[in-house]
Amino acid sequence: MTPEEEEAALLALPPAPPEETLRYGPHPSQVIDYYGLGGARRRVTVLHGGFWREAYDRTHLSPLAAELARRGFAVALVEYRRVGGGGGWPATFDDVARAVATAWGDADQALLGHSAGGQLALWAAAHGEVTGVVAVSPVADLGYALELGLSDGAVAELLGEGGELASVDPMRLPRVTAPTVILHGTDDLDVPVEISRRYAVACGARLRELAGVGHYAPLIPGSAAFPELLAALADAR
């Protein structure tokens, strides 16, 4: 599978229905889907990507959530308000903070985020107690991404007119104290691997570069890169 084929492969997976859904606010996007409930399981809260835009929701990560549940995890798959649907700064961040606080109550949890969701996971971990973080191809350096004009100005859209870069950029936040593992494909066409390299050097996260891998493969159950995600989840604790 080439980096160009990864997105189509992920989106071709049939959505997996959740076992339960919890609403944490009145907006239609303020919901959390649960997979793998019951028994003593490691709890993981998943934050999807899509450059913070309304066009992309949590559905494409439901097969991943279901697969992690089959492998012994209890999974909370979070939806949040996004740019174009009531989100952006500060609503997106308000939602993520509330969802992470709500998902498992006072119980321990790890965070798993992809792309923009990786940025949100790092942001949330800098503000609260979690047992570990796995960020896949995260937009971990918002200042650099803003300079690059990544995804036709996605960071500028997220911040809007009143957003403060320093308050949301993982590079400028207090260092995450929980064990943090970053997975990033060297052939990522959406978020350059240099972004994760910069974050890892500045903030001390463990970066695992995946040779020949693009933006989506670690999230596809059965892909050659999927075991790297499982290994990262095992190590981020």
pLDDT tens digit string along 129-163? 999 999 999 999 999 999 999 999 999 999 999 88
User: Would you tell me the crossing angle of helices 91-103 and 116-127 to the nearest 10 degrees?
Assistant: 70
pLDDT at 27: 98
Measured CA to CA, the distance from residue 58 to residue 33 in angstroms comes to 9
Tell me how far apart the terminal alpha carbons of the chain are, to the nearest angstrom.
30
- What mean pLDDT comes out for the span 169-184? 97
pLDDT at 153: 97
Measured CA to CA, the distance from residue 198 to residue 76 in angstroms comes to 29
- What mean pLDDT comes out for the span 25-44? 94
pLDDT tens digit string along 46-56? 999 999 999 99
Residue ranges covered by each domain of the chain: 3-235
pLDDT tens digit string along 195-212? 999 999 999 999 999 999
Contact assessment for residue 46 and residue 61, using Cβ atoms and an 8 Å cutoff: yes
Residues 6+ positions from 169 with CB-CB distance below 8 Å: 141, 142, 143
- What mean pLDDT comes out for the span 48-69? 98
| Helix and strand counts by DSSP (H, E) for the chain | 9, 8
Residues across the chain: 237
Q: pTM for the full model?
A: 0.98
Under the banding of pLDDT at 50, 70 and 90, the label for residue 237 is confident
Give 3-235's CATH code, choosing from 3.40.50.1370, 3.40.50.1820, 3.90.1150.140, 3.30.230.10: 3.40.50.1820
Residues 6+ positions from 104 with CB-CB distance below 8 Å: 43, 45, 76
pLDDT at 41: 86
100 conformational bin, left if phi > 0, alpha if psi -120 to 50, beta if neither:
alpha
Which residues, listed in sequence order, are joined to residue 210 by a DSSP beta bridge?
A: 185
Least Cα distance to 89 among 101, 76, 80, 77 occurs for 80
Instruction: Output phi, psi for 233, to 5 deg.
Output: -65, -35
